A and B are shown apart, each in its own frame.
Chain A
Amino acid sequence: MIEIENVHKSFGPLEVLKGIDLTVKKGEVVTIIGGSGSGKSTLLTCINGLETIASGRVVIDGTDVHAKGTDLNKLRQKVGIVFQQWNAFPHLTVLENVMLAPRKVLGLSKEKAEEIAVKQLTHVGLAEKLGVYPNRMSGGQQQRMAIARALAMSPTYMLFDEVTSALDPMLVGEVLDTLRMLASEGMTMICVTHEMKFAREVSDRVAFFHQGIMAEIAPPEQLFDAPQHTETKKFLAATH
């Protein structure tokens, strides 16, 4: 379970998170929507400790992420994250990209790491690309590789930060299909997204962020069809 309690976060004088409370249970899919600068992406990086927080708590399966002495490297094995920019490691083949962390972080043998990598890459539809270098692939393929790379660590939770925002419209579908598949398999996911149709389909709950505040959170039917908050209404009217 991911418990986010009254999290505040500032970049210099700019407060980007103004007291966020959110609990995500195992198996749940929560999507976060909202305008640019609303703090949605920042929240994800605070969840796995890539960013520090000013106050509040993030607790993952009982571990306080931002407490002193928390082994973040260990925690991150449990919480995978995929970014808008897929950050493929250009000097490694697709297979090596996915094998790297299982080998160096989990200390698995080459054979075992390869077995896991092949399995995950097959899962995201890249079985044909094992020996290829990332720069030979489309953005959509690289993004699916990044998803496989995170999954190879067998995370309990997956965070997706606008994973389709940097893609050609033609390539968005294949990545969303991969996320849909993960959701249907019961992966616990928090997705920041601008894809409203996708959010409506896969989410158990949808959260709307506005200026560092979670203005509204509700099941998708309710949030999309009967939004309560004025800002949610404005946002949905503008994006539809």
Chain B
Amino acid sequence: MFSYTFHWNQAFRALPQMLDGALVTLEIALLSMAIGLALAIALTLFRLSGNRALSGIATAWVEVARNTPALFQIYMAHFGLGNFGIHLSPFTALLAGIAFNNAGYLAENFRGALKAIPDTQTRAGRSLGMSSLQAFRYIVLPQMLRIAFLPATNQMVWAILMTSLGVTVSMNSDLAGVTQELNARSFRTFEFFALAAVIYYVIAKVVTLAARLLAARMFRY
């Protein structure tokens, strides 16, 4: 019943190709985080603005990003927008989909962090003669970043793993795409995907570890 013979050599020979793919994966994940962070800050400000339209947009964004499959978000960016004549390349569509998802989760993360800091902190700053902007900049923001940092790291790991959904929109240069093509040519499915999984695992672990070290340096209290 178990007559499959492993051919690991074939997979290992393709390792350089797969590592090139891993770099593309990392690139998309990092870009999607940078864009997601910028959007999340904007969404957080929208929510705080008190303007109904702006906070409505922000709330809708967060709701959709967090409560629909990431796969659909990427599909929409590629095929959905295509219906309206907006044609994004697989790379751009994948990036847009993940950035959309990141922004939703990070905005919620920021909101929680902001809520966790008692008003009395701002009050203490104001009572020392600081403007509300100064109190936010020097007292609230640094504490917020600490609270938001580790959840943001989780989102980064999640972004790395989400890039694999790119295969559904014919993305073929990232790790999942490269692996899928190698698989299609050789049918060594187990070997290639196992090796790819190990690479994803290592990247995710390295990112988590690096973030922990960085956090320990940045937040010493």
Q: Mark B167-190, 1 if CB is under 8 A from A, else 0.
A: 000000000000000000000000
**In the complex, what residues of A have CB within 8 A of residue B125's CB?**
89, 101
Q: Is the CB of B221 within 8 A of A104?
A: no
**In the complex, what residues of A have CB within 8 A of residue B121's CB?**
87, 89
With A91-B143, A91-B219, A105-B134 known as contacts, the answer to whether A150 contacts B123 (CB < 8 A) is: no
Q: Is the CB of B130 within 8 A of A87?
A: no
Q: Mark A27-64, 1 if CB is under 8 A from B, else 0.
A: 00000000000000000000010100000000000000
Q: Is the CB of B120 within 8 A of A85?
A: yes
A8 within 8 A of B: no
B66 within 8 A of A: no
Q: Is the CB of A89 within 8 A of B139?
A: yes
B216 within 8 A of A: no
Q: Is the CB of B129 within 8 A of A73?
A: yes
B146 within 8 A of A: yes
With A89-B139, A133-B220, A135-B221 known as contacts, the answer to whether A101 contacts B129 (CB < 8 A) is: yes
A81 within 8 A of B: yes
Could you tell me the distance in whole angstroms from the C-beta of B127 to the nearest C-beta in chain A? 5
**In the complex, what residues of A have CB within 8 A of residue B134's CB?**
104-105
- Interface members, chain A 147-196 (any B CB < 8 Å): 149-150, 153
**In the complex, what residues of B have CB within 8 A of residue A101's CB?**
125, 128-130
Complex CA–CA separation, A146 to B220 (angstroms): 21
Q: Is the CB of A73 within 8 A of B123?
A: no
A90 within 8 A of B: yes
**In the complex, what residues of A have CB within 8 A of residue B129's CB?**
73-74, 76-77, 101, 105, 153
- Interface members, chain A 79-134 (any B CB < 8 Å): 80-81, 83, 85, 87, 89-92, 100-101, 104-105, 133-134
- B142 to A, closest residue via Cβ: A91
Q: Is the CB of B127 within 8 A of A76?
A: yes
Q: How many residues of A contact B (CB 8 A)?
A: 26
Could you tell me the distance in whole angstroms from the C-beta of B123 to the nearest C-beta in chain A? 6
- Interface members, chain B 21-64 (any A CB < 8 Å): none
Q: Mark B124-162, 1 if CB is under 8 A from A, else 0.
A: 111111110010001100110010000000000000000
Residue among A89, A104, A135, A153 making CB contact with B124, cutoff 8 Å: A89
Q: Is the CB of A104 within 8 A of B138?
A: yes
Q: Is the CB of A91 within 8 A of B146?
A: yes
**In the complex, what residues of B have CB within 8 A of residue A83's CB?**
120, 123-124, 127
**In the complex, what residues of A have CB within 8 A of residue B139's CB?**
89, 100
Complex CA–CA separation, A150 to B129 (angstroms): 10
- B146 to A, closest residue via Cβ: A91
Q: Is the CB of A73 within 8 A of B221?
A: no
With A105-B128, A105-B134, A153-B128 known as contacts, the answer to whether A87 contacts B123 (CB < 8 A) is: yes
Q: Is the CB of A105 within 8 A of B130?
A: yes
**In the complex, what residues of B have CB within 8 A of residue A100's CB?**
128, 138-139
**In the complex, what residues of A have CB within 8 A of residue B123's CB?**
50, 83, 87
Could you tell me the distance in whole angstroms from the C-beta of B191 to the nearest C-beta in chain A? 49
**In the complex, what residues of B have CB within 8 A of residue A76's CB?**
126-129
Complex CA–CA separation, A91 to B124 (angstroms): 14
Complex CA–CA separation, A100 to B120 (angstroms): 17
Q: Is the CB of B131 within 8 A of A73?
A: yes
Could you tell me the distance in whole angstroms from the C-beta of B45 to the nearest C-beta in chain A? 22
23 A-B Cβ contacts within 8 A?
Answer: A73-B129, A74-B129, A76-B128, A77-B128, A77-B129, A80-B127, A80-B128, A83-B120, A83-B127, A89-B121, A91-B143, A91-B219, A92-B221, A100-B128, A100-B139, A101-B129, A101-B130, A104-B134, A105-B128, A105-B130, A133-B220, A133-B221, A150-B127
> Which B residues fall within an 8 A CB radius of A?
120-121, 123-131, 134, 138-139, 142-143, 146, 219-221
> Which A residues fall within an 8 A CB radius of B?
48, 50, 73-74, 76-77, 80-81, 83, 85, 87, 89-92, 100-101, 104-105, 133-135, 146, 149-150, 153
Top-5 shortest CB links A-B: A87-B124, A101-B128, A133-B221, A77-B129, A76-B129
Q: With contacts A50-B123, A81-B127, A100-B138 known, what are 9 further pairs, Cβ within 8 A?
A: A73-B126, A76-B127, A80-B127, A87-B123, A91-B143, A105-B134, A133-B220, A133-B221, A153-B129
